[in-house]
Amino acid sequence: MYIVVIGGGKVGYYLAKALLEERHEVLLIERDRRRAMQIANDLGEGVVLRGDGAEAATLEAAGVSRADVVCAVTGEDEDNLVVSQVAKRHFSVKRTIARINNPRNEDIFIKLGIDVTVSATQFIISLIEQEIPTTPFVNLLTLRGIGMEIVDLYMSDDCPWVGRRIGDLALPPDTVLSLLIHDGARSFPTKDTVLALGDHLIGLTSLESEARLHEMLQPV
């Protein structure tokens, strides 16, 4: 694959290095001349292009129109957004991945056509929520292309589902509860499964049904 990485900070540098090790064709675009030289000395002359990735001329020189993926991973959300938008609209790049620092920017990035966003901040928040189950509802993964979400539902002591049969729950449309974790053991729940305090349910739900499902888990 031909992968263009924009931003030669720590994320961009290690990303380029790892991709090279996996034998991909990689070009890293870095604005700062000294940093660009440093990386060129390390990873090879042909791997680095010095320039502003938000300028169409730079992306043109990088040949992004034949790139399989463009990854915008600078430390500035606005730079990552603009680079991805220009790559997408101007050069019809198939797949754009943008790094996000402020998790609240995720919605606007998706609205504006960026394919995938990666937020370390959001990732850490999800990990904390998963490890410390104070919230009954954790989004584990969003399958953006098909509008579905994989979710972890935790039966806390004030959760109205505790003690109820799954078959009796009026689940919202496009929602499946696929896995039950009870006392650290896994099983596949049926409509006769009765939920207990401390259980985790791993399920699938559509983006439209997410709010309803979330609401159902709230104490009444």
Partner 1 sequence: MQVVILGCGRVGARLAGILDAEGHPAKFGGQAVLGEGIDYDVLRQAGIETADAFLALSDNDNSNIMASQIAQRVFQVKRVIVRIYDPGRNESFRDMGLETMCPTRVGVDRIEALLGVN
Residues in contact with partner 1 by the rule CB under 8 A: 54-57, 76-79, 81-82, 85-86, 89-90, 101-102, 104-105, 107-108, 111-112
CA 1 to chain centre: 21
Residue closer to partner 1, measured from CB, 100 or 180: 100
Residue closer to partner 1, measured from CB, 67 or 82: 82
Residue closer to partner 1, measured from CB, 57 or 185: 57
Residue closer to partner 1, measured from CB, 118 or 204: 118
Smallest distance from the beta carbon of 164 to partner 1, in angstroms? 39
Sheet holding 48-50, edge to edge: 48-50, 25-30, 2-6, 69-72, 95-99, 116-118
Residue recorded with tokens 């979330």: 214
Smallest distance from the beta carbon of 82 to partner 1, in angstroms? 4
- C-beta atoms surrounding 53 within 10 Å: 27
Contact (Cβ atoms closer than 8 angstroms) between residue 27 and residue 54: no
Classify residue 98 as exposed, middle or buried by CB count within 10 Å of its CB (0-12, 13-18, 19+).
buried
Smallest distance from the beta carbon of 105 to partner 1, in angstroms? 8
CA distance 44 to 131: 41
DSSP 22-91: TT-EEEEEES-HHHHHHHHHHH-GGGEEES-TTSHHHHHHTTGGG-SEEEE--S-HHHHHHHHHHHHHHH
Smallest distance from the beta carbon of 60 to partner 1, in angstroms? 9
Residue closer to partner 1, measured from CB, 88 or 136: 88
CA distance 36 to 29: 8
Smallest distance from the beta carbon of 54 to partner 1, in angstroms? 6
Smallest distance from the beta carbon of 144 to partner 1, in angstroms? 17
Residue closer to partner 1, measured from CB, 80 or 193: 80
